[in-house]
Amino acid sequence: PKVFLVEPPDDDDDDDDDDDDDGVTYAVLGGLDVDIRTSHVYGTIAAGNDLSVETCNLGIGVSPEETDSLIAERDIHAHIGNLEHGNVVAGSSLNIQPTFTLQGGTLAPRIDSVIDWAALMDLITTTTTALGAVAPTGTVVEQADNLILSAHNGADVEVFLVTNAQLEAARDVTIDVDAGSAVVVNIEGGNLNPTQFGIRLHNIDSDKVLFNAFEASQVYIADVNFDGSLVAQGAEVDIEEIDVAGQLIAGGDISIQTTRVFGALFSGEIEDLLPFMAGLPMQEPEDVLLHNLILTPS
């Protein structure tokens, strides 16, 4: 099976051998409110409650334009900024100020639910908890202020276990694996507050690195070179003044300020570590946000 951190299903039954790169990338997904200020987001944003944006450039790289780019279960508030591509949809109301421009797509308030958020959050919780219980395959070494994560087993996915204290004390986090391997970094601890460290990747790109804060209740990250995706299924997440070369997913509120989120897809073979989990039935297939950490058949 394969782990996908936010990839829409392939709705067409064509058997052509395209690269499957034509799906929408979902960059930010919060189970409750999402608040984004003075930031750039490459990909779609979704909020389980309200979505507020101000002085932002959003929907960058989203294609095609018919795709829903800003999605909220309840209200959307947008003041100053730009949506480059895609539609704006809300379960309750839209408050789009004239200072927020829509380059393409439509504004579409909806009375019915856009997505089954309760089932979605339950799926994220179940899957990230299961990932957190997977035995580590790699070693973690503290060397001065450098935290070195290394594994050379030739596995499709290498799994590491670190504590929030180790991340917070590190100046640099180095991940070194065999070329072709993906990485899951499970993080133990109730609160996560790493600042001013860099992530150095050897033989691996950021779209194959997933940080799983499966125990966190609160995450605050600032002044960090963050290469990879972050999922915190039970946490409120506050991000300031960084680039996130991946996706942000949280069960609670998400606050993003002066940040760029690139929304790169995490994908990697997980073999037989976890049971297959089916996708969620959605009311509107075009609005499927998440086969989110869902294991789908190879």
**Per-residue pLDDT tens for 107-117?**
777 666 667 78
For residue 122, name the pLDDT band (cuts at 50, 70, 90): confident
Alpha helices in the chain (DSSP H): 117-132, 164-169
**Average pLDDT of 71-84?**
93
Kindly tell me if the per-residue pLDDT of 296 is higher than 80: no
How far is Cα 14 from Cα 19, in angstroms, rounded to an integer?
A: 12
**Average pLDDT of 180-191?**
92
| DSSP state at residue 152 | -
- Cα-to-chain-centroid distance, residue 57: 18
Task: Give CA separation, 150 vs 139, 175, 207, in Å.
Answer: 6, 6, 18
pLDDT computed for residue 66 by the predictor: 62
**Average pLDDT of 211-224?**
93
- Cα-to-chain-centroid distance, residue 207: 11
| DSSP state at residue 135 | P
For residue 64, name the pLDDT band (cuts at 50, 70, 90): low
Tokens of 249: 């997913």
- Cα-to-chain-centroid distance, residue 237: 12
pLDDT computed for residue 65 by the predictor: 60
169 three-class SS: helix
Alpha helices in 73-159 (DSSP H): 117-132
Kindly tell me if the per-residue pLDDT of 166 is higher than 80: yes
Tokens of 184: 């899951």
What does the pLDDT look like over 245-293, one tens digit per residue? 999 999 999 999 999 999 887 777 654 444 433 333 333 333 333 344 4
Write down the mean pLDDT value for the chain: 80
For the CA atoms of 288, 289, 291, 292, the dihedral, rounded to the nearest 10 degrees, stands at -170
pLDDT computed for residue 164 by the predictor: 93
For residue 36, name the pLDDT band (cuts at 50, 70, 90): very high
Tokens of 93: 């109301």
Per the confidence metrics, is the pTM higher than 0.75?
yes
How far is Cα 277 from Cα 63, in angstroms, rounded to an integer?
A: 28
**Average pLDDT of 222-247?**
92
Kindly tell me if the per-residue pLDDT of 133 is higher than 70: yes
What does the pLDDT look like over 14-25, one tens digit per residue? 444 334 443 445
**Average pLDDT of 147-153?**
95
| DSSP state at residue 132 | H
- Cα-to-chain-centroid distance, residue 143: 29
Kindly tell me if the per-residue pLDDT of 71 is higher than 80: yes
What does the pLDDT look like over 203-213, one tens digit per residue? 999 989 999 99
Query: Of the segments 22-26, 224-228, 240-244, which one has the largest average pLDDT value?
Result: 240-244
pLDDT computed for residue 4 by the predictor: 47
Kindly tell me if the per-residue pLDDT of 11 is higher than 60: no
Kindly tell me if the per-residue pLDDT of 37 is higher than 60: yes
Selection from 249, 245, 182 nearest residue 213 by Cα: 249
Tokens of 183: 């990485």
